[in-house]
Amino acid sequence: MHSEQSYLELLDTLASKAQLDPIRKDRTGTGTYSIFGAQSRHRDVHESFPLLTTKKVHWKSVVHELIWFLSGSTNTKYLRDNGVKIWNEWANEYGELGPVYGHQWRAFGARKIRSIAEMTPYGEMYSKREYTPGVDQIAQVIQQIKDNPLSRRHIVSAWNPGEVDQMALPPCHTLFQFYVRPEEGKIDLQLYQRSADIFLGVPFNIASYSLLLMMVAQVTGYEAGDFVHTFGDVHLYSNHTEQAKLQLSREPRKLPTVRLSPGIDNINDFTAGDVILLDYDPHPRIKAKVAV
């Protein structure tokens, strides 16, 4: 089965609910059609990368956002400097978002030790320089994979209950876990996503975590295997139904491949230039409004 098909089946399920079910109220006031508890699997991402072909996905944003997460930054300056606007709606006037993904991945539990008055013109920055040391979950999980590949504790959590109220947007993709298959030389990744915008957000999430899997695979000496996507509330916004129908009318095309610069063995050394997308031939982009 084409790797994209599992996504399209879920999109079709939600588009069908739009014909039958009442709109479910949500935080944004837009309204959704949703289900709770679903899963899709994208196999062997090293061989065929699951970047959707039934509509064009903005690959540049996917790559730069992941590099930004891995840097530990929570200020949008890096994204804006690289022409990526996907976080602009949630940032304050200084580009700050609070202790979101990058902070939790690289400094979970760190405590602030500097005042806003000491910060840069971009506002308060959540970085190790301004915090007591927290847990660098990315470094920790990579070391665990190397030292004890069969462990069931290869987990990174972005959900920090003590800091959720300080975040501009609490993490939608909340926890991910690696699974090593030493006999095959492969490593898999499963993501639990508490809230998932099937039309706009999920295509980015699939690509982002598949790319993360490839990076971690390279620096730990494995080949990227499967990306498993597990959902809590997965939903189609009521103002995306026509766009979903258009996408579902299109036939998937051959998936692209992604290659990473081979000499990199440290997760911190990847740049956008080290990520090469090959043979991506999607259908045209489909515009839709983001619910904020």
238 within 8 A of 33, measured Cβ to Cβ: yes
Of the candidates 35, 40, 107, the one whose C-alpha atom is nearest the C-alpha of residue 70 is 107
Token pair for residue 139?
């470094």
Question: Does residue 226 carry a catalytic annotation?
Answer: no
Angle between helices 5-20 and 241-248 (to 10 degrees): 140
116 within 8 A of 149, measured Cβ to Cβ: no
Q: Beta partners for 39? A: 230
Q: Rounded CA gap, 186 and 208, in Å?
A: 19
Angle between helices 201-220 and 5-20 (to 10 degrees): 160
Token pair for residue 86?
């996907």
Catalytic residue among 169, 172, 175, 277: 172
> What separation, in Å, do the N-terminal and C-terminal C-alpha atoms of the chain show?
35
Residue for token pair 């904020």: 292
Q: Which helix (H) or strand (E) holds 242?
A: helix 241-248
Residues that are catalytic: 172
